[in-house]
Structure 1
Amino acid sequence: MALRSVDPTIIQEMRYTTEHNFVGEPVDGYRQPVCILTRPAARALHRAQVKLLRQGYSLKVYDCYRPQRAVDHFVRWAKDPRDEEMKAEFYPLVPKSRLFADGYIAEKSGHSRGSTVDVTIVRLPAAPTRPYEPGEVLVPCYAPRGERFPDNSVDMGTGFDCFDSLSHTDDPRVRGVQRANRQMLKSTLGTEGFVNLPEEWWHFTYRPEPFPGTYFDFPVSRRSVAGR
């Protein structure tokens, strides 16, 4: 179902419909910027949002359901050593040849089961995020907040989809406000049944999953959830 039908207040910035992602182009299967989730996951995210709104914050999702064809696109890209257009921002210190071995890219994704979401927190009122301009100078995703690509998220220490160990939720180098922000996200979602992936501060899966072992491949579009 569309997350917006359960909670229209959650901010959506669906990165894979744009060129601002580690592939550098819109990803296969993302036809429209729509967050699709299973009903239990969407309702749990709504409950977390209600808690954050009371504190002056909002959730923002970067990615939700991901069709298998999108995962296949990632795999093809990762196997092509020539395409490193976005390396300077998203994986500046990781050789592309290591992306599979280090677990950044896999041939199957929990996102394709519909209960996994990539999410952050935004302080309200939310400032607009400027659009990415293809060809602009890229800055490492782990650079200080004022230097890396601007995001209206609170400071989490890295940008979204940063292929670096600093993205590990409990990396000891992440301290102070950045650590507190990560823990606020983790604890808020954790009380509603979401489990964090330790290697990515933004990655959460609702448990128990309604479709364990299933990998859907319908496209991300409004038509896909019409009437559901």
Structure 2
Amino acid sequence: MTLSASASPLRFSHPYESFHHSPAPHSNTAPNIGMNTPAQIASIVSDLTSTARHGMLRAPALALPTISMAKLFFRYAAMNSGKSTQLLQIANNYETMGKAVTLYTSAIDDRYGVGMVTSRLNIQREANTFDAGFDFLAQDYGDTACILVDEAQFMTPEQAQQLHRLAHTRHIPVICFGLRTDFRGHPFPGSAWLLSLAEDVEEIKTICQCGRKATMHIRIDGQGHRVKEGPQVEIGDEARYRAVCGQCFHRD
């Protein structure tokens, strides 16, 4: 069987995220055969064999964002979902291709040292920091091929607007990673603006202890009891926060 890779009806939204498949009428992509009968499966396999014989079955393309597709990306998730791991992998992928990246993280996140992007897989690298007064537009990005921002929930609304303008006026892809809401379920101002402005928004999935998809997180005290009141920002790791599903979030 010979497969043609001349074009691709499958689209990766980003090289480190699952691809989305939206087949058009008369799609030449493989169907889902999970619950079909043996006769239906035999028919599907026959159709695929015929399609491949005529060179119509095509492999997916994989590409990093370039200046021709510069826009603002926002990848959000509950805590402990691998956001920083994905950021560091993307940075590595660009640099392996000989392209420069600029990394940022929040100056208030000192869990692993100020100015450090750290994965729970014990991968770490230095990054520039931003605080509430930082101006992303005032920086010289030189030959930067991509800007990567960790802990983006701590940005101000103005900084989210700056990054949107930067992507479209300087033609540099900007990929932000962060939480969507705080421990009370209230949106972080920076995240609310990123959700409004980003052209490409995607959830990074993780699971709750109960097995459902975690979409929220809760704050806990030193004895493991839930804390429902307090300041929005309180830096902490698994000892202070837990990713939960909506049902567990609303459980008293």
TM-score, length-scaled by structure 2: 0.25
Point out the structure with the larger strand share.
2
What's the TM-score, normalizing by structure 1? 0.27
